Structure 1
Amino acid sequence: MKELKACPECGVPDEVSQSTRWESNGTIAGLRTPGQRSLYFEVAGINGLFENIEKQVGQSVNRIIIEGKRKNTLEYLEDYFSGVMAAMVRSLGRRRIYMAIARLGAVAGYGNFEILEIKRGEHVRVYGRNIYSIPLLKGDLMAAFNFTERLPASVTMQEKEDGYLMKIEPGEKPDEDLSSRLEPVLSHPKPGDIHYDTCALCGAPAELKNWLFDLGEGTITNGTTGRRLASLGIDQVDAVLRELQAELGEDFENIILQAQRDYVKDVLGAEEMGGGKPYLRRFFALRGMGNLVSYELGDDRLRAVVENARPPLMVAGILYGIFELLTERAGEIDYSLRDGGDLEVEVAAIP
């Protein structure tokens, strides 16, 4: 795999502009991984979501998060390094395979990784900085070991200076029952009419010029808000949330909705979220979360429809937070997901 390069005009990495397409329907399609949708989400938001779930249920949910991410990343690597590329990559030797995977992680905003030691079939030692999420990264590291060594994996991590020393070695086989339940449910998005002005050189949406891709540090930062972003497989996020819901029961929906609501109110801010439908439509679409086709906000009610909404609970929770943030009133949310993928949300003020 070549060294990472970026567009000299907009700064978007070639890996992003050549393998990802922002569609007119509010989705982000993987061109080298057909059928997979991507999600760009704030790192603090996804970590806050996991932390809030654990607080509410009083137990760790890392087992589900790690296995979901391992499964998704392994599928991604097998799709990405397929055909001729697979044969070419495997002929390069293990170190180059792991370095190629580490570079893909940097592009996705997962952090900076240095391969310290490789012993075939025994272990890989890595030093990482700017890690985006501990449980998600553990899944990524296990998938890299699965892909390269063709063995099940376990990961141990130890803090060192401003990062972590990590050791990946053979582990127990994945829980087959859990893994089977984490299969993504693929959808067929509706067409849309979102227009993107694009960079004249690389074709990426012009708005991405404001996203600072620091390939050396392995981070993506929104230049306006200063918030860090990372790219995730949206189908696997959905699968993980479904499994958490099955394990945790009826209260799970409220946990997600309230976590997203609180994130909007605590972090995003009224000035940003008060931009109305034009701003919010771009907000959701640039993250790959869907196409906001209808949005009405009054003093006591918010109504919205988002086509191709994924993950639906997270989208609904953001709209819930927007209502309470902008009206400064407590609200009660009602939402429904239609068969075609339309998410209808209504938030009404509590008298």
Structure 2
Amino acid sequence: MAGSRPCHVCAVPRRISRSLTWNPEGTITETRDPEHRMILADVEGINQLFGNIENLIGISIQNMLTESKARATREFTRKLLRGWKRQVVRRAGLGLVIKRMGGLARSFGYGDLEVLHVDWRNNRIEWRLRDPYSVPLMCGDLRGATEAVKDVVGTVEAEPEGENTYIVRGRLSPPPSGMEERLTAPAARVKRGDITYRRCPDCGVPLRVSGFAWDPDCGIIRDGRTGARYAFIGPASIQAVFDELASELGESIPEAVVEAQRMRVASLDFEPWRGFALEKFRDLLGVMGFGNLVSLESSPDRFTARIENAALPLVIAGTAAGALEAFTGRRATTEWTVTPDGDLELQVTA
């Protein structure tokens, strides 16, 4: 498990510094696929957000999350397996891919992964997940990787086995649902940025990342100060679900996403953030991969901001509203616009 070895200076796993790049534009990207963007997200928060959205709109989005994540993971895996690598992997079998994927998944905070049974004659495979960061998203990861290696389409179903443990059964070659083709996030243009990070002199990751603690056996990342669990997640597949919901259910969906996030964040403790200056907010947003905060004006009951290269802008807007509500004790209202070139312009008032 060489990839799980920590840097001797900052203690961040070597696999993280090899796999991810923190850019001055406020983005985190896969080193081998710079178009594949990642964010460092609060696991409980992202799952609570999904639940709040379902409660507000009255339908489940679990299948959409799995379909969208499967597409993103399949495309990412295929890019990694171009040419001779693809032939080697196909001959070596899915077991090699799953083993390597399991190591990467643990480093990214996805939980533990175990292959239980493979039966290619009947096109079936079973996994056990322990402490998954998100059941629907992890199911999408497994399905997408399988489809990329075997050149098939498939479905996956998760069944609880015990506390925080699930059996996932995959079946290959069913008729495609058609949903996955619609869940395609538009290509995003990235503006150049000038964020500079204090970096580890040995592995190069921002030193702020060393504030997180990795459990390489369980596949869990925790904030060293709060104990909250985090994971590196691709935002494009989540944004594609938001876009598909909006196309199916109308313009109320963006407001529902913002409201769902406001509900969650308003209950949190943001007192330590009161003394943050612009540069600290900017640094934090960039380290988490959510974008480049280029302007911020604030007063006790109002602030305006502009964020370039914003990831999940509706989630950022809801977070801002919930944070101001937590500060003031008054319900916050939010106005936001995503410009044609991808800037999030935001105004929040309490």
TM-score, structure 2 normalization = 0.93
Quick check: 1:120–1:149 contact (8 Å CA) kept in 2? Answer: no
2:108 equivalent in structure 1: 108
1:342 paired with 2:343, answer: yes
Counting matched residue pairs gives 348
CA-to-partner distance for each residue in 1:232-256, whole Å, 9 max, x for gaps? 2122222121112212222211211
Quick check: 1:273–1:322 contact (8 Å CA) kept in 2? Answer: no
Q: How does 1:264-279 map to 2 (within 5 A)?
A: 264-272=265-273, 275-279=276-280
Rounded to whole Å, the distance in 2 between the matches of 1:88 and 1:201 is 33
Q: CA deviation at 1:279?
A: 2.9
SS at match of 1:34: strand
Letter in structure 2 aligned against 1:27: T
CA-to-partner distance for each residue in 1:230-284, whole Å, 9 max, x for gaps? 1121222221211122122222112111122222222353324652423322221
1:130 equivalent in structure 2: 131
**Unaligned runs of at least 5 residues, structure 2:** none
Letter in structure 1 aligned against 2:200: C
Rounded to whole Å, the distance in 2 between the matches of 1:273 and 1:54 is 32
**Unaligned runs of at least 5 residues, structure 1:** none
Q: Please, which moves more after superposition, 178-187 or 45-54?
A: 178-187
CA-to-partner distance for each residue in 1:272-308, whole Å, 9 max, x for gaps? 4652423322221111111112122213321111111
Q: How does 1:74-113 map to 2 (within 5 A)?
A: 74-113=74-113
Rounded to whole Å, the distance in 1 between the matches of 2:51 and 2:176 is 24
Quick check: 2:269–2:326 contact (8 Å CA) kept in 1? Answer: no
Rounded to whole Å, the distance in 1 between the matches of 2:335 and 2:159 is 44
Quick check: 2:115–2:126 contact (8 Å CA) kept in 1? Answer: yes
Counting aligned pairs with the same residue, the percent is 32
2:167 equivalent in structure 1: 165
**Which of 173, 176, 182 pairs up with 1:174?**
176
Quick check: 1:292–1:305 contact (8 Å CA) kept in 2? Answer: yes
Quick check: 1:142–1:155 contact (8 Å CA) kept in 2? Answer: yes
Quick check: 1:90–1:97 contact (8 Å CA) kept in 2? Answer: no
CA-to-partner distance for each residue in 1:152-203, whole Å, 9 max, x for gaps? 2222323223311222122533333x32322221222112221111111111
Q: CA deviation at 1:85?
A: 3.4
Rounded to whole Å, the distance in 2 between the matches of 1:233 and 1:268 is 26
Rounded to whole Å, the distance in 2 between the matches of 1:90 and 1:172 is 21
SS at match of 1:37: strand
SS at match of 2:284: helix
Question: CA RMSD, aligned part only?
Answer: 2.0
2:50 equivalent in structure 1: 50
Change (3 A) 1:13 1:174: farther
Letter in structure 2 aligned against 1:339: P
Q: CA deviation at 1:2?
A: 6.4
Q: How does 1:201-350 map to 2 (within 5 A)?
A: 201-272=202-273, 275-349=276-350
